[in-house]
Amino acid sequence: VGAVRRQERLEYEWLFRASYPSVLRTVFLITRDIGRAEEVCQDAYLLLLERWSKVSQFEHPEAWVRKVAVRMAIRVTQREKRRTRLEATAQNAPEPHLPDLDLATALGELTPMQRAAVVLYYYEDRPVIEVARALRVSPSTVKQHLYRARSRLAELLHEEVRGDVC
Protein backbone atom coordinates (compact mmCIF):
# COMPACT_ATOMS: atom_id res chain seq x y z
CA VAL A 1 0.00 0.00 0.00
CA GLY A 2 2.77 2.37 0.98
CA ALA A 3 4.73 1.69 -2.20
CA VAL A 4 1.69 2.31 -4.40
CA ARG A 5 0.92 5.57 -2.60
CA ARG A 6 4.50 6.74 -3.01
CA GLN A 7 4.48 5.90 -6.71
CA GLU A 8 1.15 7.68 -7.23
CA ARG A 9 2.45 10.73 -5.43
CA LEU A 10 5.58 10.84 -7.59
CA GLU A 11 3.49 10.59 -10.75
CA TYR A 12 1.18 13.35 -9.55
CA GLU A 13 4.12 15.63 -8.74
CA TRP A 14 5.64 14.96 -12.12
CA LEU A 15 2.43 15.97 -13.90
CA PHE A 16 2.07 19.04 -11.69
CA ARG A 17 5.55 20.30 -12.54
CA ALA A 18 5.08 19.60 -16.23
CA SER A 19 1.66 21.20 -16.69
CA TYR A 20 1.23 23.87 -14.00
CA PRO A 21 3.01 26.79 -15.73
CA SER A 22 1.02 26.42 -18.92
CA VAL A 23 -2.33 25.95 -17.12
CA LEU A 24 -1.62 28.97 -14.91
CA ARG A 25 -0.88 31.16 -17.92
CA THR A 26 -4.11 30.17 -19.66
CA VAL A 27 -6.15 30.74 -16.50
CA PHE A 28 -4.44 34.09 -15.98
CA LEU A 29 -5.44 35.22 -19.48
CA ILE A 30 -9.06 34.43 -18.62
CA THR A 31 -9.18 35.89 -15.11
CA ARG A 32 -6.69 38.71 -15.83
CA ASP A 33 -5.68 38.58 -12.20
CA ILE A 34 -2.63 36.57 -11.19
CA GLY A 35 -3.75 36.05 -7.58
CA ARG A 36 -7.11 34.75 -8.67
CA ALA A 37 -5.49 32.60 -11.36
CA GLU A 38 -3.27 30.98 -8.72
CA GLU A 39 -6.30 30.30 -6.52
CA VAL A 40 -8.18 28.72 -9.41
CA CYS A 41 -5.20 26.53 -10.29
CA GLN A 42 -4.82 25.50 -6.64
CA ASP A 43 -8.43 24.34 -6.57
CA ALA A 44 -8.17 22.54 -9.90
CA TYR A 45 -4.97 20.70 -8.93
CA LEU A 46 -6.40 19.85 -5.53
CA LEU A 47 -9.35 18.23 -7.29
CA LEU A 48 -6.89 16.38 -9.48
CA LEU A 49 -5.01 15.18 -6.39
CA GLU A 50 -8.20 13.90 -4.80
CA ARG A 51 -9.20 12.03 -7.96
CA TRP A 52 -5.70 11.06 -8.98
CA SER A 53 -6.16 7.30 -8.79
CA LYS A 54 -8.95 7.59 -11.38
CA VAL A 55 -7.74 10.50 -13.55
CA SER A 56 -4.20 9.09 -13.80
CA GLN A 57 -5.69 6.22 -15.80
CA PHE A 58 -6.88 8.67 -18.49
CA GLU A 59 -4.88 9.07 -21.64
CA HIS A 60 -4.23 12.77 -20.98
CA PRO A 61 -4.62 13.65 -17.29
CA GLU A 62 -3.19 17.12 -17.97
CA ALA A 63 -6.08 17.81 -20.39
CA TRP A 64 -8.50 16.96 -17.59
CA VAL A 65 -6.98 19.42 -15.12
CA ARG A 66 -6.71 22.11 -17.80
CA LYS A 67 -10.39 21.73 -18.65
CA VAL A 68 -11.36 21.88 -14.98
CA ALA A 69 -9.21 24.97 -14.43
CA VAL A 70 -10.63 26.78 -17.48
CA ARG A 71 -14.21 26.11 -16.37
CA MET A 72 -13.42 27.25 -12.84
CA ALA A 73 -11.78 30.40 -14.23
CA ILE A 74 -14.89 31.24 -16.26
CA ARG A 75 -17.15 30.74 -13.24
CA VAL A 76 -14.91 32.84 -10.99
CA THR A 77 -14.66 35.62 -13.58
CA GLN A 78 -18.42 35.66 -14.15
CA ARG A 79 -18.99 35.89 -10.42
CA GLU A 80 -16.40 38.61 -10.08
CA LYS A 81 -17.88 40.58 -12.95
CA ARG A 82 -21.35 40.43 -11.40
CA ARG A 83 -19.93 41.53 -8.07
CA THR A 84 -18.01 44.48 -9.48
CA ARG A 85 -21.03 45.51 -11.49
CA LEU A 86 -23.09 45.52 -8.33
CA GLU A 87 -20.48 47.50 -6.48
CA ALA A 88 -20.31 49.90 -9.44
CA THR A 89 -16.55 50.12 -9.20
CA ALA A 90 -14.22 50.73 -12.08
CA GLN A 91 -14.25 47.61 -14.22
CA ASN A 92 -11.64 45.97 -16.34
CA ALA A 93 -8.71 48.01 -15.21
CA PRO A 94 -5.69 46.76 -17.16
CA GLU A 95 -2.97 44.86 -15.35
CA PRO A 96 0.02 47.16 -14.99
CA HIS A 97 2.55 44.67 -16.37
CA LEU A 98 0.71 43.83 -19.58
CA PRO A 99 2.67 44.73 -22.70
CA ASP A 100 -0.34 45.74 -24.83
CA LEU A 101 -2.44 47.88 -22.52
CA ASP A 102 -5.06 48.71 -25.14
CA LEU A 103 -5.56 45.05 -25.88
CA ALA A 104 -5.73 44.26 -22.16
CA THR A 105 -8.39 46.90 -21.65
CA ALA A 106 -10.32 45.67 -24.68
CA LEU A 107 -10.15 42.06 -23.49
CA GLY A 108 -11.69 43.19 -20.23
CA GLU A 109 -14.75 44.31 -22.19
CA LEU A 110 -15.46 40.75 -23.35
CA THR A 111 -17.69 38.36 -21.43
CA PRO A 112 -15.82 35.60 -19.53
CA MET A 113 -17.00 33.00 -22.05
CA GLN A 114 -15.85 35.10 -25.00
CA ARG A 115 -12.50 35.67 -23.33
CA ALA A 116 -12.06 31.98 -22.59
CA ALA A 117 -12.88 31.11 -26.19
CA VAL A 118 -10.39 33.72 -27.45
CA VAL A 119 -7.64 32.47 -25.09
CA LEU A 120 -8.10 28.82 -25.99
CA TYR A 121 -8.33 29.54 -29.71
CA TYR A 122 -5.71 32.25 -30.18
CA TYR A 123 -3.29 31.58 -27.32
CA GLU A 124 -3.50 27.82 -26.91
CA ASP A 125 -4.10 27.38 -30.63
CA ARG A 126 -6.79 24.76 -30.11
CA PRO A 127 -9.29 23.83 -32.84
CA VAL A 128 -12.89 24.94 -32.40
CA ILE A 129 -14.02 21.41 -31.57
CA GLU A 130 -11.60 21.21 -28.62
CA VAL A 131 -12.55 24.68 -27.40
CA ALA A 132 -16.18 23.57 -27.52
CA ARG A 133 -15.40 20.49 -25.44
CA ALA A 134 -13.48 22.50 -22.88
CA LEU A 135 -16.26 25.07 -22.53
CA ARG A 136 -19.03 22.46 -22.70
CA VAL A 137 -20.82 24.21 -25.56
CA SER A 138 -21.37 23.36 -29.23
CA PRO A 139 -18.78 24.28 -31.91
CA SER A 140 -21.23 26.76 -33.45
CA THR A 141 -21.55 28.51 -30.08
CA VAL A 142 -17.76 28.77 -29.90
CA LYS A 143 -17.70 30.32 -33.38
CA GLN A 144 -20.35 32.77 -32.26
CA HIS A 145 -18.32 33.72 -29.17
CA LEU A 146 -15.22 34.19 -31.31
CA TYR A 147 -17.07 36.22 -33.91
CA ARG A 148 -18.58 38.55 -31.33
CA ALA A 149 -15.29 38.84 -29.47
CA ARG A 150 -13.40 39.76 -32.62
CA SER A 151 -16.01 42.30 -33.67
CA ARG A 152 -15.97 43.94 -30.26
CA LEU A 153 -12.17 44.01 -30.14
CA ALA A 154 -11.95 45.39 -33.67
CA GLU A 155 -14.32 48.16 -32.67
CA LEU A 156 -12.42 49.00 -29.50
CA LEU A 157 -8.95 48.72 -31.04
CA HIS A 158 -9.84 50.27 -34.42
CA GLU A 159 -8.46 47.24 -36.19
CA GLU A 160 -9.78 45.14 -39.03
CA VAL A 161 -11.16 41.60 -38.67
CA ARG A 162 -9.73 38.89 -40.87
CA GLY A 163 -12.18 36.22 -39.71
CA ASP A 164 -9.93 33.17 -39.60
CA VAL A 165 -12.11 30.76 -37.61
CA CYS A 166 -12.29 27.45 -39.42
Partner 1 sequence: MSVEDRLRAGLSGEAEAVTPEVEWQLERVMGRGLRRTRMRRAGYGIAVAAASAAAVVLAFNAGVFDPSVNEHVPGPVNQPEQIQGEYVVEISQATDRQADMVGRWRVELADGGVLRLVPPRGYAGTTSGSSYRVAGDVILTNAFVDRPGCQTVERGSYRWKRTGSTLRFAVVDDSCADRELLFADQTWEALP
Q: Summarize as ranges the residues that interact with partner 1 (CB under 8 A).
A: 1-3, 5-6, 13, 16-17, 20-21, 24-26, 28-29, 34, 37-38, 41-42, 45-46, 49-50, 95, 97-100, 103-104, 118-119, 122-123, 150, 153-154, 157, 159-162, 164
> What is the rounded CA–CA span in Å between residue 134 and residue 10?
27
Beta-carbon neighbour count of residue 139 at 10 Å? Answer: 15
Residue nearer to partner 1 on the CB measure, 11 or 95: 95
DSSP letter for 136, please: T
Residue nearer to partner 1 on the CB measure, 4 or 88: 4
**Considering the complex, what minimum distance in angstroms separates the CB of residue 102 from partner 1?**
9
Residue nearer to partner 1 on the CB measure, 117 or 132: 117
DSSP letter for 110, please: S
Residue nearer to partner 1 on the CB measure, 101 or 129: 101
Would you say 117 and 143 are in contact if contact means Cβ atoms under 8 Å apart? Answer: no
Three-state DSSP class for residue 162 = coil
Residue nearer to partner 1 on the CB measure, 82 or 95: 95
**Considering the complex, what minimum distance in angstroms separates the CB of residue 32 from partner 1?**
9
Least Cα distance to 69 among 47, 102, 53 occurs for 47
Three-state DSSP class for residue 82 = helix
**Considering the complex, what minimum distance in angstroms separates the CB of residue 87 from partner 1?**
25
CA 53 to chain centre: 25
**Considering the complex, what minimum distance in angstroms separates the CB of residue 37 from partner 1?**
8
Would you say 149 and 110 are in contact if contact means Cβ atoms under 8 Å apart? Answer: yes
**Considering the complex, what minimum distance in angstroms separates the CB of residue 34 from partner 1?**
6
